[in-house]
C-alpha cells in the first residue's frame, strides 16, 4: 500500500524531534511541513483542533497528536524495524513512566530556567529544580548505555531532544550539566552517534540564539 506520511513540525521543538527520530529509526519516508506557530496554518488547525500544537503526524490523511502518543503509534504501525517500547508489560510501564516524567518535570523545570529574569534566589531555585530533575534521570539511567538497557528506545527518544537546548539552559541558569551529570552527557553523546538522532536535532547554538530572541521579544533583560 502506498503510504502518505506527513509531519507538521517545528525544527527547534524537542517534541517534534521525538517524532523525527522515531520515523528515522523505523526508516519511514515522510514529508516534513515546518509550521509557523505565530501564524498557525489552516492544516494545523484542522488536524489538531483541540491543542493546536505541533507535532502532528498525518498518516494516510488521519492525524495523531501529542508527541509520546505519536511515537507509540509509530512503534505500533511499523513494528518490523527497531522496536521502541519493550514487550514486557512491566518494562513497558516503566518506559512510559520515565517518558511521562520528562514531560511533567523536565520540560517545566527547563522553561523556568529559560525565563529567569533576575540573578540570585530565582536563578538558584530554577537551577536546583532543573538539575535535581536531570539527576533523577541520571540515576534511572545508571550504568546502562540507554534507558531501556542495551538498545536505544522510548525513553531515549523522549529525552534526547532536550540535549539541543542544553547550551541555552546552561547559559541562562549558569551551570554545567556535564559537571553535575557526567553520565547523562555521555549518554547524550552516545545517542548523537546514531544518525537517526544527529540528523533530527538542531544544533545547540541555533536553539540558544532562538531563546535569546524570544527573551528579547518578551522584554526579559
Footprint on this chain of a second copy (rule: CB under 8 A): 50, 59, 62, 64-66, 69-70, 72-73, 76-77, 89-90, 92-94, 96-97, 100-101, 136
Sign, CA dihedral 101-102-103-109, equals positive
Secondary structure letter of residue 143 according to DSSP: T
Cis, peptide link before residue 55, omega less than 30° from 0: yes
Q: Which is nearer to a second copy, 105 or 112 (CB)?
A: 105
Q: Which is nearer to a second copy, 35 or 67 (CB)?
A: 67
In this structure, the strands spanning 62-65 and 31-34 are: unpaired
Burial letters 52-76, b for 16+ CB under 10 A, else e = ebbbbbbbeeebbbbbbebbbbbbe
Least CB distance to a second copy at residue 108 (A): 13
In this structure, the strands spanning 5-9 and 31-34 are: parallel
Least CB distance to a second copy at residue 175 (A): 22
Q: Which is nearer to a second copy, 103 or 180 (CB)?
A: 103
Q: Which is nearer to a second copy, 15 or 208 (CB)?
A: 15
Least CB distance to a second copy at residue 74 (A): 9
Q: Which is nearer to a second copy, 139 or 214 (CB)?
A: 139
Closest by CA to 19, choosing from 81, 53, 66, is 66
Least CB distance to a second copy at residue 106 (A): 12
Least CB distance to a second copy at residue 164 (A): 24
Amino acid at each position: 500500500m502506498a503510504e502518505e506520511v506527513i509531519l507538521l513540525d517545528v525544527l527547534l521543538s524537542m517534541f517534534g524531534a521525538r517524532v523525527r527520530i522515531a520515523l528515522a529509526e523505523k526508516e519511514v519516508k515522510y514529508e516534513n511541513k515546518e509550521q509557523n506557530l505565530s501564524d498557525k496554518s489552516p492544516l494545523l488547525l484542522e488536524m489538531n483542533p483541540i491543542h493546536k500544537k505541533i507535532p502532528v503526524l498525518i498518516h494516510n490523511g488521519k492525524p495523531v497528536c501529542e508527541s509520546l502518543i505519536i511515537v507509540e503509534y509509530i512503534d505500533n504501525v511499523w513494528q518490523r524495524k527497531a522496536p521502541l517500547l519493550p514487550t514486557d508489560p512491566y518494562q513497558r510501564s516503566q518506559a512510559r513512566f520515565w517518558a511521562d516524567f520528562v514531560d511533567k518535570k523536565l520540560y517545566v523545570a527547563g522553561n523556568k530556567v529559560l525565563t529567569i529574569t533576575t540573578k540570585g534566589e530565582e536563578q538558584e531555585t530554577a537551577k536546583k529544580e532543573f538539575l535535581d530533575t536531570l539527576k533523577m534521570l541520571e540515576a534511572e539511567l545508571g550504568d546502562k548505555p540507554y534507558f531501556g538497557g542495551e538498545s536505544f528506545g522510548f525513553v531515549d527518544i523522549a529525552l534526547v531532544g532536550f540535549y539541543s537546548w542544553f547550551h541555552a539552559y546552561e547559559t541562562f541558569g549558569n551551570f554545567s550539566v556535564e559537571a553535575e551529570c557526567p553520565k547523562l552527557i555521555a549518554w547524550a553523546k552516545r545517542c548523537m552517534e546514531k544518525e537517526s538522532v544527529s540528523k533530527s536535532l538542531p544544533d545547540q547554538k541555533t536553539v540558544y540564539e532562538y531563546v535569546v530572541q524570544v527573551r528579547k521579544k518578551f522584554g526579559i533583560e
